[in-house]
Amino acid sequence: MATFVREDGVSLSTTDVAPSHFMFKIQSVSLLTEYNVKKCSSAEFEAGGYKWKLIFYPNGNKRNHVTDHISVHLALMADTRSRGFQPGWEVHAVFRLFLLDRNNDTYLVIRDVQEKGRRFRATRTEWGFDRVIPVGTFNDPSYGYVVDDVCVFGAEVYVHKDLKFYTGECLSMVKDPDPVKYPWTIFNFFVPERAYHESPTFQQWKMRVYPNGKDDKGTHVSLSLHLASGGESKEPTPSRIYAEFTLRLIDRHHHKNWIVKGARWFNPRSPTNTFYEWPKLITKDYFKTKSAGFWSSCKDKCTIEAEVRVHGETTPLQS
């Protein structure tokens, strides 16, 4: 195994042995920069009895003023062993990070030269390497790290004992995805006994609208977009989804629709990350005016249109 030790104490070596704890495959790497994704995190994986994540900065960790090298970090999850970060509690771990060279079927291994380990605790849950290789080198297919717009990272983490098992996740980015569009006409909009209306599921999405506001104060109309459980989805089931979306209140008269936009990672396993909401979408008084054109008083109805584009999905990486 060839080894090169840099002046900053980082050891770079090559090996033909795959990482034993976790692998993170990213497809359409170029889209991370195109969509201005500053960092992307893997799913949780377990090593040494604790839960971790890999974090990749495709254009450098700008918090440390790095812009010309890719950065790769390891983060300890706060809910590890279901006890969180208690005062004075820490985990001492030695870790190695990997980057696949597909041209030579080897891995670049990045580690501290002395492998003295790092102390993960409440005030520092993330450690890693900010200057792995130059961005230009990483993206040049002749070096083998990004080939066919795909790269693969890996990790080995050692805490007290050596655990060797293989799990992973694949992040797939989509260029110019087709939008999912859904027009939803709601009748009996201001029925007193209904706190909210929920749309049918369109593919894996649904909308909710609260005529008297989510806080039920009656001053605003609230709207939310949800990742629907049990909706149509591809196999294997995505674990996280990055989507860009536009919702419109349709103006029936003047075609001056009321438009709101957003983008976020949706996670079906996290209740707080399955939806995006606008608690004060529009004042109820203005919504009900005839000049606005959003609501028909005689038929008590309105129409909301959703447009969703899925730019990226993560799925379990099959070994």
pLDDT tens for residues 163-182? 333 467 889 999 999 999 99
Range of the domain at 217: 180-316
Residue 235 one-letter amino acid: E
* Domain shared by 8 and 157, yes or no: yes
Pick from 241, 238, 236: nearest CA to 226? 241
Burial track 229-267 (b if 16+ CB lie within 10 A, e otherwise): eeeeeeeeebbbbbbbbbbbbbeeeeeebbeeeeeeebb
Q: Which of 171, 195, 210 is the last residue of a domain?
A: 171
pLDDT of 210 higher than 90: yes
pLDDT of 31 higher than 80: yes
* Domain shared by 225 and 138, yes or no: no
User: Dihedrals φ, ψ of 100, to 5°?
Assistant: -75, 130
Residue 193's alpha-carbon distances to 117, 185, 211, 302, in angstroms, are: 60, 19, 11, 18
* Domain shared by 100 and 248, yes or no: no
* Domain shared by 219 and 164, yes or no: no
* Domain shared by 125 and 205, yes or no: no
- Sign of the Cα torsion 215, 218, 223, 227 reads positive
Q: What span, in angstroms and rounded, lies between the C-alpha atoms of 285 and 233?
A: 39
List the structure tokens of 185.
């006409």
At 238 the pLDDT is 64
* Domain shared by 267 and 190, yes or no: yes
Pick from 317, 244, 177: nearest CA to 37? 244
Structure confidence at residue 37 as a pLDDT band (50, 70, 90): very high
Q: Which of 148, 171, 194 is the last residue of a domain?
A: 171
Q: Which of 125, 146, 171 is the last residue of a domain?
A: 171
List the structure tokens of 125.
């849950």
* Domain shared by 113 and 164, yes or no: yes
The bridge status of strand 22-27 relative to strand 167-173 is parallel
Highest mean pLDDT among 6-10, 24-28, 216-220, 270-274: 24-28
User: Dihedrals φ, ψ of 85, to 5°?
Assistant: -95, 105
194-207 tens-digit pLDDT: 899 999 999 999 99
Q: What span, in angstroms and rounded, lies between the C-alpha atoms of 192 and 154?
A: 55
* Domain shared by 163 and 200, yes or no: no
* Domain shared by 46 and 155, yes or no: yes
* Domain shared by 145 and 83, yes or no: yes
Better-predicted residue by pLDDT, 89 or 37? 37
Pick from 289, 319, 314: nearest CA to 54? 314
pLDDT of 270 higher than 70: yes
Average pLDDT of the chain? 88
At 21 the pLDDT is 95
At 209 the pLDDT is 97
* Domain shared by 20 and 153, yes or no: yes
What residue has token string 């520092």?
Answer: 124
Residue 16 one-letter amino acid: D
DSSP annotation of 200 reads P
User: Dihedrals φ, ψ of 177, to 5°?
Assistant: -70, 150
Residues 6+ apart with CB under 8 A from 237: 315
* Domain shared by 117 and 156, yes or no: yes
Alpha carbon 265 to chain centroid distance? Answer: 4
Specify the 3-state DSSP secondary structure of 239. coil
Structure confidence at residue 257 as a pLDDT band (50, 70, 90): very high
Please give the radius of gyration of the chain, using alpha carbons only, rounded to the nearest integer.
24
pLDDT of 9 higher than 90: no
Domains in the chain, number: 2
Structure confidence at residue 25 as a pLDDT band (50, 70, 90): very high
At 122 the pLDDT is 77
- How much is the average pLDDT of 300-304? 95
At 165 the pLDDT is 39
The bridge status of strand 90-101 relative to strand 126-129 is unpaired
126-166 tens-digit pLDDT: 999 999 999 999 999 999 999 999 999 999 999 864 333 34
Write the CATH number for 207: 2.60.210.10
Structure confidence at residue 249 as a pLDDT band (50, 70, 90): very high
Greatest alpha-carbon span in the chain: 79
Q: What percent of the chain stands above pLDDT 70?
A: 90
